[in-house]
Each structure stands twice: as structure tokens, then as C-alpha cells.
A and B are shown apart, each in its own frame.
Chain A
Amino acid sequence: MSEQPNVVITGLGATTPLGGDVASTWAGALAGRSGVRTLTQDWVAKYELPVTFAGQLAVPAENVLPRPEIRRMDPSAQYAMIAAREAWADAGAPEAPGERIGTVIASGIGGVWTLLTAWDTIKEKGARRVLPLTVPMLMPNSPAAYVSIEVGAKAGAHAPVSACASGAEAIGYGVEMIRTGRADIVVAGGTEAAIHPLPIASFAKMQALSTRNESPETASRPYDVSRDGFVLGEGAGVVILEREDLAVARGARIYARVAGVGMSSDAYDIAPPDPSGAGQERAMRIAIADAGVSGADIVHVNAHATSTPAGDGVEATAIRRTLGGDADHTAISATKSMTGHLLGGAGAMETIFTVLAVHHHVAPPTINVTEIQPGLEIDLVRDVPRQLREGQIAALNNAFGFGGHNVALVVTSV
């Protein structure tokens, strides 16, 4: 055993396009359901958005949180709060001094709804109508701060920002907080609430989004030969990280261990990944080495796989180079085929999928793939879940973000 303490996951929480909690989200994923639908908001036609669908929350936050919380929090903080409360309760509301509890809740974009709604207000009605909580609502650390208040976490509240890698980076940062002795328990995850006309217009202009408007449920099709872009989603995922010896001592239910964290940056381009995949490969290799496992131990990968023509191929190549011949038998799942892309929430929600895959020894499916792009040497889990082998297993979760941020986490069974 290394000198650093092991870190385990004892609680899970989520609100996603597949369900309002972890159980319904996981059931939806195993059933191969799509959470993507046509948007019914009037602004879709009003602004002539070229993309008319997204993965909205299955259970609106208004149905869950009391009205004053809805008014005082940006939707990104609302979603984080819903997920954090579920995760905290799921972990059995562990008792510890506040100074030993941290929070790391990331968002890729932050309070875009609050910012742009306030901008509309000042343009239309003047400065006197701007609400006083506008800045505390729109700041990207707002979800981390609110969750710290909720659980009384005083070891530090952090909000790493790395676009679509943010949620996974937050969990990696939380692991480091425990390993370095800053905290014993960390509430970590990611959130995003960016289904707003401006991000949709911008992503569409980049030609990053699928335009399969006539068939939203089948639009997200990672690795498929006919994929045409990602599908915007929203939601949050939060996990409770704990020092393993303390979790064992209190008799906590342990889902899995976060054994390895790997991070790298491409230093290549502000949007697309380095086409060589070298940075992604490095992140995965660092995570695997950090976990003290080998490629042969990795039985499952929850891939970043957003369904963009460029990105999926780069990642498939990077996985193949990292795992070598072991990749022949590595069950790869692209769950964004069902949830859409939760941006800053994605890495956290997909860590939860990876944890549950390891815990239950089953990999969730990838839907909407009719023909894998020729040349991609991947063993994709298609349409139905796949059993993973019994015994000790390890899995990888990848999350990559605009700007060349690469995060890989290794999760192992306990």
C-alpha cells in the first residue's frame, strides 16, 4: 500500500435527462433509453435555431426544490444541489468536523441563464431592475459554494473549470484533497444548465452539434459512421469521496475505489483535440499507472465519445494505443448516446456510470449505432448491457474539454 490513503466512493447523486436521481438514470441507461427530445420553448423558432432538440432534465428542478431556492440559485446550482443532497443522503450523511469536509463542484459554462437574463433586464428596463443576487448566482463557483453551505464543508470549496472535462477534473481534485490530507470527505461533481439559445447558436455555428432535428432520440450516435455532432444535455452528478479507512471504520457502503487520476493538456487548439490523441493517451496512461493496475485489468471504458466526427476517432485511437491488444476485450460504452452531452456535468455523471458498472459488473449500452466507423478498433457495447467478468475489475472514465483538457479516472472494485 502506498503512503497516500485510498479514496472510495460511498454516495452517488444525479439529476439527468434520463431521470431525477441515480436509480432512474441508471435504469434508463441499462434499458438503452434516450433522454433527448424536441425543445418546445418559444425561443427555438423565434431565434431560428438550427438545432431544435436537447437532453433536458427528466424531472424539472422546479418540481424538486422549494421556490426560494429556485429564485436564489442559477439552474446550474439548483441541479448541483439536487444531486449533492441525494449523494450525501446516499452516503448516510457522514458525521465529521466541517474542517475535514471539502466540496469540489465544477461547471463548464457557469450561470449562463442568470447572466443573459440579467443582461436582457438591464437593456429593457434599466439598472434599477437588476436583482442584487445576480453576480452570486452567475459566478461559476456558486454551485460549489452552495453545496459547501449545505453540508457545512470548511476544508475548501473549489470549482475547477475545464469545459467538458470539468466534472471529472472536480472528482480528480477531490481525490487529491483526500490523498494530501486536506480533507477526509469530499463532495465532488459537476453540473451544467446551458440549454439556452446562445450556447446552442454558438455550438451550432461551430458545426459541433448534430442537426438531426427530425429524429432527436437517434441524433447522438458515437462512433457511428453517420454521426454528425454532439447533442446538448443538462444536469448534474455528484459523488461522496471518502478516505477508505475512515469509510470502513464507520461501516459505510462502498461502491468502488477511485484508484487513479490522470490529467494532461494538449497545448494544441482552443476547440478540437490534438488529432494525434497524444494528450488523451497520456492522461489515460497516468491514471492507469497511478492506480497501480495494468491495461489487462481495465475491462470497461466509459468513453468521452460525444458523437462528433473528429473527436470520437481521436479517442478510439488513443484508447487503442493506451491499452494495446488488451483493447480487443475492453467493453467500451458511450453513454452520451442516451443522455446527450452534459458538458461540465458529463465527467461526473459518467464517473457515476463507471462506478455502477464496476459495482454491478455490468457495462451500460451505446445506442443508435448502426455501423461503427470503419477503422475504429473498439469493442463497443451496443444496444444492450454487457456483463463484466467477476472478481476484481477496473474501469476507465474519460472526459475531454475544449481547450485540450484531458482527464482520465480509474475506478476499481473493492
Chain B
Amino acid sequence: MAHSEEDILAGLAEIVNDESGLPTDAVQLDKSFTDDLDIDSLSMMTIVTLAEEKFEVRIPDEEVKNLATVGDAVSFIARAQEA
């Protein structure tokens, strides 16, 4: 079953909160993972791994560098689940 973009954002915020301790409401579409949320590359890979499982999608390793903002990740996951 496909998740709405709203659901994906909420789900990602939970993963980021669990991994980094950032409050879920800090995880907004326009936020940069590295510059705003201070997520390092290993944490990013953890978040991607957990997101793949949660949303039942595949996020290729070479795509991760293109997911600069939370919005990028939400859009990618939304498209990937339709594929």
C-alpha cells in the first residue's frame, strides 16, 4: 500500500528522531540532512536502511548523495513506491 507524502514525512521524522534525538517537528521538507539536521554519512545510511524497510522501497546507494533535503527523500520514496 502506498504511503502519502505526509505519512512519509512523519515516518522519516520518527526514524531521524530515533537515530539522532532531534525532535520530530524539526524534520521539515526544506531541511538539509547535513547542514540543518547535522546528520553524518553513517547516520544517513542508517536512516536510508530503516526507511527502505519502513516504506518497502529500494533506495540505491548511489541515490543517497542526491537526497540533500528531507523533501528530496520524501519525493524519492513517494516515486519509488509507485514504481
Interface residues, chain A, CB within 8 Å of chain B?
66-68, 71, 125, 128-133
With contacts A128-B49, A128-B52 taken as known, whether A133 is within 8 angstroms of B21 at the C-beta atoms is: no
Nearest chain B CB to A119 CB, angstrom units: 16
A67 touches B21 (CB 8 A): yes
Choose one: B20, B42, B53; the contact of A133 (CB below 8 Å). Answer: B42
Question: What residues on B are CB-neighbors of A68 within 8 Å?
Answer: 18-21
Question: What residues on B are CB-neighbors of A130 within 8 Å?
Answer: 49
With contacts A132-B42, A133-B42 taken as known, whether A67 is within 8 angstroms of B18 at the C-beta atoms is: yes
In angstroms, Cα B46 to Cα A255, docked, is 43
Choose one: B20, B21, B49; the contact of A129 (CB below 8 Å). Answer: B49
Nearest chain A CB to B22 CB, angstrom units: 9
- Give B3-51 interface residues, CB cut-off 8 Å to A: 17-21, 42, 45-46, 49-50
Question: What residues on B are CB-neighbors of A67 within 8 Å?
Answer: 17-18, 21
A66 touches B21 (CB 8 A): yes
Question: What residues on A are CB-neighbors of B17 within 8 Å?
Answer: 67
In angstroms, Cα B20 to Cα A66, docked, is 10
A132 touches B49 (CB 8 A): yes
B52 touches A71 (CB 8 A): no
A71 touches B45 (CB 8 A): no
A-B CB contact pairs (8 Å), 15 listed: A67-B18, A68-B18, A68-B19, A71-B19, A125-B53, A128-B49, A129-B49, A129-B52, A131-B49, A131-B50, A132-B45, A132-B46, A132-B49, A133-B42, A133-B46
In angstroms, Cα B17 to Cα A67, docked, is 9
A129 touches B19 (CB 8 A): no
In angstroms, Cα B58 to Cα A129, docked, is 11
Question: What residues on A are CB-neighbors of B49 within 8 Å?
Answer: 128-132
In angstroms, Cα B43 to Cα A68, docked, is 10
In angstroms, Cα B42 to Cα A132, docked, is 6
Question: What residues on A are CB-neighbors of B18 within 8 Å?
Answer: 67-68, 71
In angstroms, Cα B53 to Cα A125, docked, is 9
Question: What residues on A are CB-neighbors of B52 within 8 Å?
Answer: 128-129
